[in-house]
Amino acid sequence: MRIRGTGQAREWGAAHPRAVDAGLALLVQAAVTMPFVVPRPPELEPATWEAYGLTTLTVLPLVWRRRAPMAVLLAVIAASALYKLAVEGPGQPLPYQGLVCVHTVAALGTARQRVVAAALLVVAVPVSVWLNTRSARELTFSLFVFGAAYVFGRLTDARQRAQAVEAERAAARERARIAREMHDILSHAVSLMIVQAEAGPVAVRRAPERAEAAFEAISATGRDAMDQLRRMLGVLRDEDPGGGRSPQPDLGELPALLDRVRAGGLDVRYETSGEVAGLPGPLAATAYRIAQEALTNTVRHARARTATVRIDRRGPLLTVVVTDDGRGPRSAALRPPGRSAGHGLTGIRERAAAHGGTATAGAGPGGTGFEVRAELPVASPAEVGP
């Protein structure tokens, strides 16, 4: 709960930067007010409202620190110099305003602005110390705190840049995942619809009852594809109340998938061994999508009569094997990413790799047909989507 609250506070701060800057200015104002409300020694003159007003003038520019960090730094230096030279006000234990400005310039300013700010501090800090105590101790301390503020500002900039890069990488991974999902949904549905549509004219002439079944299968496949795409697009548009990622299938939906493939004329057998129920959601979805894409390739390219889908879990390893009795492969394995290959087999390899597994494709048992084999560790090294 604590970590979640911190994340929510950061998100709110990123969405309301002006409110954050105003709150920071109020906090600094409270800090510089302390010397005015704490009783002063009798030998010192009492603090005046004029001095307090000038103190407020040194704080007010902080409200615009993000929009014009260098201008705010110059304004604070000028107001602080006026306070030091024009009034006899109480001193401050720390130069809060200057530290905030230096940190902001270091974090948000350009390289030229940072150089100018460093040059100003090299001059302003010794002058301020000379006007105050003229002690080496104060000079050393002032240089240290301003240097620390600058270093922390640069670290903030580095952290923000790293977060931006990671956000871009995460967005790229999510785009790739969505592209794979849409490819699998559309490729599978269109392939089945094409097979049924090509068989329709023949069935109309020879077996009208089969033609009716073919048209029903085309309609059911299209509706299922539209439903899956609608759910996915609904999540992308933030219409899903859960606010999560697009709904993912699991192995419990695999029999329904095989029924749709059988309706297209391919005799599909389904075999399982080991405990395949209760798998982690992302892993189960990956196994489903691998089987779906392998069957899509069989329907589109293999000219097969039968196919077998086998799901086997042995200890920490889940194996997905799809074989057919079709024309067989053109190559003995999945091609590496740098070479030309079908998107389907490449997607299978990427899905398996995302879970720390491997995928191969080649000749089926006895050298006949085609086989796709994916081996996935049940304990995935990275919780990433399929």
pLDDT tens track for 151-182:
999 999 999 899 888 988 888 887 877 777 77
188, 210 Cβ separation under 8 angstroms:
no
Stretch 249-262: mean pLDDT, rounded? 86
> What confidence score (pLDDT) does residue 358 get?
93
pLDDT of 231 higher than 80: no
CA 55 to chain centre: 44
pLDDT of 197 higher than 90: no
> What confidence score (pLDDT) does residue 319 get?
94
- The token pair that represents 112 in the structure block: 């030229």
> What confidence score (pLDDT) does residue 41 get?
76
Stretch 354-373: mean pLDDT, rounded? 88
Instruction: Tell me which DSSP letter residue 92 carries.
Output: -
298, 337 Cβ separation under 8 angstroms:
no
89-93, 113-117, 200-204, 276-280: which has the highest mean pLDDT? 113-117
Q: Give the residue from 310, 263, 256 showing the smallest Cα distance to 287.
A: 310
pLDDT of 380 higher than 60: no
pLDDT in tens, 274-300: 888 888 888 888 898 899 888 888 888
List alpha helices for 87-135, DSSP H.
96-108, 111-132
pLDDT of 238 higher than 90: no
Distances (CA, A) of 293 to 176, 240, 343, 384: 16, 26, 10, 19
CA dist 137 and 143 (Å) reads: 10
CA dist 5 and 7 (Å) reads: 5
Stretch 201-229: mean pLDDT, rounded? 69
> What confidence score (pLDDT) does residue 198 get?
64
Domains in the chain, ordered, with CATH?
2-134 (no CATH), 168-377 (3.30.565.10)
> Amino acid identity of 384?
V
Beta bridge partners of 312: 273, 319
Distances (CA, A) of 355 to 47, 253, 279, 286, 358: 68, 20, 13, 9, 9
pLDDT in tens, 98-152: 999 999 999 999 999 999 998 988 888 888 888 777 888 888 998 899 999 999 9
Q: Give the residue from 26, 30, 32 showing the smallest Cα distance to 54.
A: 32
Q: Give the residue from 288, 285, 295 showing the smallest Cα distance to 345.
A: 295
Stretch 290-315: mean pLDDT, rounded? 88
